[in-house]
């Protein structure tokens, strides 16, 4: 990984920073192509403006995308650390179409779930612990047991011909990938419902995790809950459609 400080419109090689991560964003970039960079720019810049309004976060996102080589699969990351902007140039990790999910007890341990960045370290710790149990992700729920999202991904599921997602009044990240999936549903004339749901609503349902790098992943196992994953009637076609966006 290469790290750069963004100063006066220029990316300057830097050592790995050690301050507090206040905001972060990342995306998949393949052979120079980024899926809806504008949405990542908008999310990152709006969050940075809350903490450091004088910094040009929009320009950092564009500079980071230009810095990525035109060949290969990459996973660049931009961050606000303390009051400075940074870019991390990272090669893309393996992508996997399926995911096993551990169901945590009710209660969201995150401090600022609507902003990407402050809780990434905690998410990494939760996933690292989950991997000791042979699973890939962890499902987060509110204290009342309402479905939220996972440590590093948004959550959607199917009820018949309706695509469902946690209600937007819940403490969840404004996911770029979820927005793209919901836009695709709208183009196909498919109803999208934002709901207050519990674990029981996932039983027997085709369920996906969504994030910018992995795209769509099909949940094939729920660990720690008596849930049966639903059959993947739509997964392959929708994953392909998203990857071609």
Question: Which tokens is 139 given?
Answer: 């499902």
Beta bridge partners of 217: 209
Q: What is the pLDDT of residues 12-65, one digit of tens each?
A: 999 999 999 999 999 999 999 999 999 999 999 999 999 999 999 999 999 999
Strand arrangement of the beta sheet that strand 73-74 belongs to: 33-34, 29-30, 73-74
Q: Where are the beta strands (DSSP E) in the chain?
A: 2-7, 10-13, 21-26, 29-30, 33-34, 73-74, 77-81, 84-89, 98-103, 137-141, 147-150, 154-159, 162-166, 192-195, 207-211, 215-223
- The Cα–Cα gap between 65 and 37 comes to 8
Crossing angle for the helix pair 37-51 and 57-67, to the nearest 10 degrees: 140
- The Cα–Cα gap between 150 and 142 comes to 12
Answer whether CATH 3.10.20.30 is correct for domain 98-243. Answer: no
Q: What is the pLDDT of residues 55-111, one digit of tens each?
A: 999 999 999 999 999 999 999 999 999 999 999 999 999 999 999 999 999 999 999
Q: What is the mean pLDDT of the chain?
A: 96
Architecture of domain 2-89: 2-Layer Sandwich (3.30)
Nearest by Cα to 55 from 30, 94, 87: 87
- The Cα–Cα gap between 177 and 170 comes to 17
What per-residue confidence (pLDDT) applies to 15?
94
What per-residue confidence (pLDDT) applies to 245?
79
Q: What is the pTM of this model?
A: 0.95
Q: What is the pLDDT of residues 178-193, one digit of tens each?
A: 999 999 999 999 999 9
DSSP class per residue in 41-88: HHHHHHHHHHH-TTS-HHHHHHHHHHHS-SSSEE--EEEEETTEEEEE
Asked if 77 contacts 117 with a C-beta cutoff of 8 angstroms, the reply is no
Q: How much of the chain exceeds pLDDT 90, in percent? A: 98
What per-residue confidence (pLDDT) applies to 216?
97
Ordered by start, the domain boundaries in the chain are 2-89, 98-243
């Amino acid at each position: 990984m290469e790290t750069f400080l963004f100063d006066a419109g220029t990316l300057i090689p830097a050592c790995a920073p050690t301050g507090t991560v206040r905001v972060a964003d990342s995306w998949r970039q393949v052979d120079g192509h980024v899926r809806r960079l504008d949405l990542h720019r908008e999310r990152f810049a709006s969050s940075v403006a809350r903490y450091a309004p004088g910094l040009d976060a929009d320009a950092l996102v564009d500079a980071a995308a230009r810095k990525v080589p035109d060949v290969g699969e990459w996973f660049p990351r931009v961050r606000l650390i303390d009051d400075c902007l940074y870019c991390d140039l990272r090669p893309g990790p393996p992508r996997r179409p399926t995911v096993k999910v551990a169901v945590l007890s009710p209660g969201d341990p995150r401090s600022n779930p609507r902003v990407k960045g402050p809780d990434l370290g905690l998410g990494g710790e939760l996933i690292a612990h989950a991997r000791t149990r042979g699973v890939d992700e962890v499902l987060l729920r509110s204290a009342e047991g309402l479905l939220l999202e996972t440590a590093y991904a948004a959550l959607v599921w199917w009820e018949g011909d309706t695509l469902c997602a946690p209600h937007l009044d819940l403490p969840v990240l404004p996911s770029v990938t979820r927005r793209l999936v919901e836009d695709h549903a709208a183009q196909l004339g498919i109803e999208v419902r934002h709901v207050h749901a519990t674990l029981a609503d996932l039983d027997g349902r085709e369920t996906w995790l969504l994030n910018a790098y992995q795209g769509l992943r099909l949940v094939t196992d729920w660990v720690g809950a008596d849930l049966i994953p639903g059959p993947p009637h739509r997964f392959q076609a929708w994953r392909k459609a998203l990857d071609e966006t």
